[in-house]
Amino acid sequence: MPKSERGILGYRKVPGKEILFSFAPRKGNECASDEEDSDYQPSDDEEGLSRNKDRKSALGKSKEKKQRNVKQRKKQAKNKQKGEIMKRKRNMVIDSSQSESPSKRFQKEDASMPSKSGHQLWGQMLPIEILVRVFELGVRENGAVPFLCRVSRVCSLWREAASKPSLWHHIDLSFGWVKSIEQTLNILLENRVSRLKILNLSLCAKLTDKEIKLVVDKCPLLESINLTACIKLTSLSISLLSSGCQHLKAVDLSGLNIGAVAPAVLKQLVEQCGSRLEEFVIAKTQLRSFPMVLKALMTCCPNLKLLDLSNCKFSSDFLMIPIEEFQAGCPSLEVLRLTGSKVRANQVSRRLKEESLGFPKLKELSVAVNITTTLNISLGITDGLLLRLLKTSSKLKHLDLRGCTHITADVLQKLSLDNLEQLFISQCSVSKYEGIAVIVQKWMHSLIELDLSWNVFPGMSLDIAMKKLSSTPQKSNLRILNLSGTSITAQRVKSLLDGCPRLSCLDLSSCRGLPRGMKQQYEGERLANLKRNIDTIFDEESENT
């Protein structure tokens, strides 16, 4: 029986050609769709689907058209704004000379330029002198680095103003925040700092002699340098500073290794600076044969104002200080710091003591000792040393005797100090005597900060002293009071809060005579709350007792 020539849908079958459905229509002849039939009529559901499809298509086209219109309008506005800026620039009066600086070009402005757009170019139209003054305020607030480095990236005018040498007189690269100290110094020294006067390189652990030589070569006006904890430096750096810096007035060599601060090199530095030297700091350092350096200071530096030998270790057991000779050689001394160092006064005749002029300009003396670790350091800090050092120091403002175990209350009463502002006698032998009330009364009119912490006062001496301290509220200038570890009572705290109206910090931590919740440090809002609630605390304590 012959095979049928037509298939089930009525189409002629061609073997290997005809298919019912295919995802790849080019491989066969697909069956015609229903829409191509002349008698085809779609159902209601199909008509609805078709209308929804047409509606979505129309909405999509409308949205795309709106987006194109918005982009076109933005582009036109941007081109218009760009054209206005170019037009304003063309209207500006520009000198035809190519050598004219950017600052002069930006200063020339056409009178017909619209005022409504002036705010857009205000930074470029300021006279460079005004811009430099503005940058001076920024340098004073934030330092030359990184402030000037950042503003120089704004425009050519700002770059020119930030490059003025007068702004680069003080650079602080301390605390090791500069990643590459060598690269940074090279950039700054080559382009900016011909008039540099103050340079702080403290804690730059990667600093070497090479960078110090660059500083000496490029900074002929250098007056002050801080090299604290630059542990890679050698004695060559100190020699370069002494021979190359002809204006050096202040030097900080704290925390350097023992090889960098060799006695011969330090002596050379002191002698080369001579009468220029005003500040000499060499704290936290191990020093050999330092009496030789001290002798050079007393001989060559009559204008020395600050000497800091805090926490130094000397090759000898104690550093012997010839006090009267020191006073004669450095009469301008204002700050003397011997904290944590083993020092003693030399033996001299009574006549030399009487003839000595003392330190009449001394404002700060610190001989504090950490008694928890070094009990024998305070052996040299005696009444005799204190009286000889402060013989004529009537202008003294700061006296630190913390941890001194051989100082009596009588010597403090004998000192001819008129307006002492800061007194620190924590863990001091002064507290063993009942004269603390007389000491407080002597300077209660001028004291701004008082530290009596961790002292055991005999009898009622502390209570009497605090009562006198708070007796004249109208004259009290006290702002900071440290009573931690003492036997102060809540009643006396109340009188202090009432009698010291300028008090801003009160430390009552570990005070065994106070309620437990009251033993803490008070500042700001916490101190204000204590003043408001002290009556309640005092009443509760009275009820308990």
- Number of domains the chain contains: 3
Does residue 175 sit in the same domain as residue 289? yes
Does residue 207 sit in the same domain as residue 308? yes
Does residue 138 sit in the same domain as residue 180? no
Write down the pLDDT at residue 272. Answer: 94
Residues ≥6 apart with Cβ < 8 Å to 373:
none
Does residue 130 sit in the same domain as residue 246? no
Write down the pLDDT at residue 43. Answer: 55
Boundary residue ending a domain (167, 191, 225): 167
Residue range(s) defining the domain that contains residue 304 = 170-316
Write down the pLDDT at residue 334. Answer: 97
Contact by Cβ (8 Å): 369, 402? yes
| Chunked mean pLDDT (size 10), the chain, 545 residues | 53 53 47 48 55 62 74 77 63 42 45 45 74 86 80 83 83 68 71 80 86 88 92 93 92 93 94 95 93 95 96 90 94 95 90 90 93 70 93 95 90 91 92 83 94 90 92 93 93 92 95 89 94 76 58
Contact by Cβ (8 Å): 228, 252? yes
Boundary residue ending a domain (296, 316, 336): 316
Instruction: Report the CATH number at residue 275.
Output: 3.80.10.10
425 in a structural domain? no
Contact by Cβ (8 Å): 478, 497? no
The whole model's pTM is what?
0.74
CB-facing half-sphere around the CA of 517: CA atoms within 13 A: 9
What are the pLDDT digits (tens) for 346-364?
988 888 888 889 999 999 9
Does residue 174 sit in the same domain as residue 261? yes
Beta strands per DSSP E along 346-441: 364-366, 398-400, 422-424
Write down the pLDDT at residue 53. Answer: 58
Boundary residue ending a domain (316, 346, 372): 316
Residues ≥6 apart with Cβ < 8 Å to 16:
none
Query: Rounded to an integer, what distance in angstroms lies between the CA atom of residue 308 and that of residue 332?
Result: 15
Does residue 253 sit in the same domain as residue 304? yes
Query: Rounded to an integer, what distance in angstroms lies between the CA atom of residue 154 and that of residue 291?
Result: 54
Does residue 184 sit in the same domain as residue 158? no
